[in-house]
Amino acid sequence: MTISYRLPDGATLAFDAPATGLDIAERIGKKLAKQALAVRVNGELRDVYLPVPEDAEVEVITRDSDDGLELLRHDAAHVMAEAVQELFPDTQVTIGPTIENGFYYDFHREESFTPEDLEAIEQRMREIVRRNEDIRREVWDRDEAVRFFREQGEEFKAEIIRDLPEDEEVSIYRQGDFLDLCRGPHLPSTGKLGDGFRLTKLAGAYWRGDSSQPQLQRIYGTAWRDRKELKAYLKQVEEAEKRDHRKLGREMELFHQQEEAVGSMFWHPRGWRLRQRLEQYIREKMEKHGYQEVCTPQMMDRSLWERSGHWDKFGDDMFTLCTHDDRELAIKPMNCPGHVQIFKQGLKSYRDLPVRIGEFTTLFRNEAHGALHGLMRARTFGQDDAHIFCTEEQVNEETASFIRMLREVYEAFGFTDISVKFSDRPEVRAGADEVWDRAEASLKQAVESVGLDYTLNPGEGAFYGPKLEFVLRDAIGRDWQCGTLQVDFVLPERLDATYRAEDSSERRPVMLHRAVLGSLERFLGIVIESTAGHLPLWLSPMPVMVATIVNAVDDYAIEVRDRLAAAGVPAELDLRNEKISYKVREHSGKKVPVILVVGEREAAEGKVAMRRLGSKENRELGLDEAIEELARQRQLPL
RNA sequence: GCUCAUGUAGCUCAGUCGGUAGAGCACAUCCUUGGUAAGGAUGAGGUCACCGGUUCAAAUCCGGUCAUGAGCUCCA
């Protein structure tokens, strides 16, 4: 009897009897056998010491591959669990998956872990790696496994086993004296983990991600192939912290926050100019695309929010206040009910559709304390919010043209990597199932008609309708959900919006809720972090600084500033009695995109010396030429 | 809202065993008018987040509150 295994390079290895992954690796080379962490058999990852029973495609997995790294991280989680149980026997283990860059494990324990505990756990992990314990898979009887974990006081594990699908094998991995339920596969021994890991942080997490369930303690770690990769990662994290928008916001004199206004901004002059600039850009963009801007009340009577359904579904997030005559008002968390009121004024004909209504006024949402995060998650913020009232037949074209605009806008900020998620009906929702059927079908058809790839995001729709979510990838590889388009058959019904159709019957319009940037505050935060504060000239709140070398040229510097201003380029003057390097350093630190240096020579020749942020190059050019260039770059990229 | 951590000058941070507060930068004044990321001197600046407790004595120890950070839940 011969069994043959086909390798990725096409070669075939023949054995007389079923060989283990390790045997196969050994046949290929001694070194590979040493490095083997697992094998992929017909596409499925398996433990390296298990026999491969029949002819198969076999690939040996080492730490060099992505799969190998994933295995290392998974094992790091298990080694951590073993370390924790050795040091703190009263701890129950739950689950410990890999995540981007690392892993975590959730534990249940009466006492809290301290940062010192983390160090001790990490030390013990290194010891376990040195012990080089074998990690072996065992298949247990389901009831026996439940009984075992029960006896160990591991109620959470017992619960997981009980909930496993009937036909699934209950595999237990034995690693020294530590046994853990796990699907696997695993490294052959703890020594293979190496020393490229570190425990990073401690946080709370709910059992099964449900806030009504017990709270667990989650320990996060990062794990890499070796110490060098670990160091590179830690360095990268450090760099990312440097571009935190709250830090840059302070350095660039954009905004601040303080205790008395949690979740809101104090916008400083430069910050507000930036925020206004962004708003102006999207306003003009929307005008070009046929939107009309409106302004609706900041607060409206409770009864309207009850009719719209917000009171029920969004009530916890709404701020309310009472008038002297005991009326209860809600401060708007969304514009939709207001826009419906505008649509309803006067009779609308099918000839009027689509009606596109946009608004940028501030919204107020009572976000949970722990969710707040600078500009990224605020309680007061503006949105490039708009609602399109149209017929069912127009949903397609409106969706398509919205997506065109969205792409143009993202491109203006340098975001070209965009993906789409399709979110369908959530559990808590308004409207009958048949209405949802129609809304989902309609939106699905619209995405497909523009040839957009999308992934399904089940149960994540808004309470009034399904939605598309547009996710952009920023310059440092982070994903952000900004744009959204939601189809709504419910609100026009609830708030009784109608139009007169061709056959003179009264019909309900479909309402599309849509935003490209989403929260203007949040979008700014993303742009700031993604550019590390190096904003494009058209957006920058302080695009040009005119800095003098000697006071004798003050008058010329003033002329330069005034002529820039006349050409639509805001500029400030730095006439201080300081060295030019001092001025350059200071304004560069504040991320001013262009510094125009003027000294005796420039003044005499009607020139400026232009220095761009991030470059040491120093261009000397005529004043007219410089103004022309800067004015062009200051134009909104419409 | 939940868990853990943190809160000292405008910013970044020291502050040992509990003995009444320190640096650098920034700021002010004076000197310096200089060529592309820090010129020099002098000075001012703090209810150590807030409230309470222990103590002869609290930035320091204990409790509570608030805020911030990381994560969870939620979400733009």
Question: Quick one: pLDDT at residue A558?
Answer: 96
Q: What pLDDT band is residue A23 in, cutting at 50, 70 and 90?
A: confident
A75 is catalytic: no
Q: How many Cα neighbours within 13 Å face the side chain of A510?
A: 24
Domains of chain A: 3-60 (3.10.20.30), 66-237 (3.30.980.10), 255-531 (3.30.930.10), 544-634 (3.40.50.800)
Q: Chain B positions under 7 Å from a protein CB? A: 1-5, 11-12, 31-39, 66-76
Q: Nearest residue to B38, CA vs C1'? A: A582
ipTM over the 0.85 cut-off: yes
More confident residue, A80 or A1: A80
pLDDT of A118 reads: 86
- Find the largest Cα–Cα distance for chain A: 97
What does the pLDDT look like over A276-334, one tens digit per residue? 999 999 999 999 999 999 999 999 999 999 999 888 888 888 999 888 888 899 999 99
Q: How far is the CA of A376 from the C1' of B14 (A)?
A: 33
d(CA A360, CA A623): 38
Task: Please say if A298 is a catalytic residue.
Answer: no
The question of whether A513 is a catalytic residue gets the answer yes
This prediction's pTM: 0.86
* Nearest nucleic acid nucleotide to A207, CA to C1' distance: B72
User: Model confidence over A53-87: pLDDT tens digits?
Assistant: 888 888 888 888 888 999 999 999 999 999 999 98
Determine which helix (DSSP H) or strand (DSSP E) holds A20, and give its type and residue range: strand A19-20
Which pLDDT does position A132 carry in this prediction?
92
Q: How many CB atoms lie within 10 A of CB A93?
A: 27
- Tell me the CA distances in angstroms from A633 to A524, A602, A627, one per residue in order: 19, 22, 10
pLDDT in tens, A379-395: 999 999 999 999 988 98
Closest CA to A275 of A300, A255, A297: A255
The tens digit of pLDDT for each residue in A353-383 reads 999 999 999 999 999 888 899 999 999 999 9
Residue A559: C-alpha distances to residues A151, A562, A572, A623, A631 (Å): 85, 5, 12, 10, 16
Whether A383 is a known active-site residue: answer yes
Check whether A462 has a pLDDT greater than 90.
Answer: no
> Hey, what are A288's tokens?
């070009």
Using a 10 angstrom Cβ sphere, with 0-12 exposed, 13-18 middle and 19 or more buried, the burial of residue A149 is buried
pLDDT: which is higher, A432 or A505: A505
Q: Is the pLDDT of residue A527 over 90?
A: yes
- Say which of A92, A383, A394, A486 is annotated catalytic: A383
User: Tens of pLDDT along A176-192?
Assistant: 888 888 887 899 899 98
User: Residue A388: beta bridge partners?
Assistant: A356, A512
| pLDDT tens digits, A201-257 | 888 888 888 878 888 899 999 999 988 888 888 888 877 778 899 999 999 999 999
Nearest Cα to Cα of residue A481 among A457, A502, A505: A457
Mean per-residue pLDDT, A392-400: 89
Please report the pLDDT score of residue A600 as a whole number: 95
User: A34 or A621, which is more confident?
Assistant: A621
Burial environment of residue A343 by CB neighbours within 10 A (0 to 12, 13 to 18, 19 or more) = buried
CA–CA distance, A29 with A105 (Å, rounded to integer):
36
